[in-house]
Structure 1
Amino acid sequence: MPQLHWSEALELGLDVMDDTHREFVELLARCESSPDALLPATWDALVRHTEDHFGREDAWMRETGFASVNCHTTQHRVVLEVLREGSRLARQGQLQPVREMVHELALWFPRHAQTMDAALALHLRNGGDDLHTGRPGRPGASVAPITTCGSGGCG
């Protein structure tokens, strides 16, 4: 049984983000239940999804005044480095570290979604952005950059 389940607590009220997050949770569950022989390919699918997922959010932040120097973008970069390292390890047959990464991602993701992503979703909704597609309504607008992430630990 997967450690992380999709729930209303993870919903942000922005369809495109919620759909992407739901897919992340599903891919993570597949990794968790994947037999050893399939784990490298399943993990790589999670990595590809997450590269697209984080890339889209990072683009929205750049386009709408969430400065690229904020800790949300930095956290995306660090998590992707770890995921890519997991792919390298899995290709070498080192699956236990990847299974530990699955466990840690299941702990990390709800906090990330409920703090950093929730702040981004609120920012997008308040900016007149397209709530169905997530397309920013004010690309290139002159707004003061937001350099915090929405989390209490960021300054």
Structure 2
Amino acid sequence: MFWHDGLLIGHSAIDDEHQRFAACIQSLREAPADRLAQRLEELLQLARTHFLHEDRLMEATAFPPRKCHIGEHAAVLASISGVQARLERGEVAVARRLAEELEHWFPAHVQHLDSALAHWICKQHVGAKPVVLRRNLETRRTAEPA
């Protein structure tokens, strides 16, 4: 999973966290077997912090679909924790599979749920949608493997 401007939502704090989350997923995917547990723990801690941040923003602003969004965060945390338990039993392949699944889940989550949250927050604060500047988006899309 490589970060690209197509994942920007226009909320700088969340965008920064998303960039770190994408890097953690990539790090988990590329980690040697003896580093998987460490990388998975780093991902879990970052996910907890990031999801808590978003969950608090949703509650504070009464974001209408917050229950669904918060539920998705909880499901991802449960999945990571479950994989952590399996990795402790020596199931290395399941950690690699988690990284692959998160690579597929993350962009859709960002582009649908998180972008809607950013729009909602911006609308609440300034009465408009966020401005998102994307550089070389078309080049990156064509350069990325299918």
TM-score, normalization by structure 2: 0.82
Instruction: Structure 1: give runs of 5+ residues left out of the alignment.
Output: 130-155
1:34 matched to 2:34: no
Aligned equivalents of 1:68 and 1:62: distance in 2? 10
Aligned equivalents of 2:67 and 2:6: distance in 1? 24
1:120 matched to 2:124: no
**Alignment deviations for residues 34-82 of structure 1 (CA, whole Å, 9 cap, x no partner):** 0000001111100000001101100111111025862111111111100
Instruction: Structure 2: give runs of 5+ residues left out of the alignment.
Output: 127-146
SS in 1 for 2:38: helix
Return the letter of the residue paired with 2:99.
V
Structure 1 runs of 4+ aligned residues shifted over 3 Å read none
SS in 1 for 2:125: coil
Return the letter of the residue paired with 1:29.
Q
Number of residue-to-residue matches in the alignment: 126
Aligned equivalents of 2:71 and 2:120: distance in 1? 18
Greater helix content: 2
Sequence identity percentage: 28
Aligned equivalents of 1:67 and 1:47: distance in 2? 26
1:15 matched to 2:12: yes
Aligned equivalents of 1:16 and 1:42: distance in 2? 23
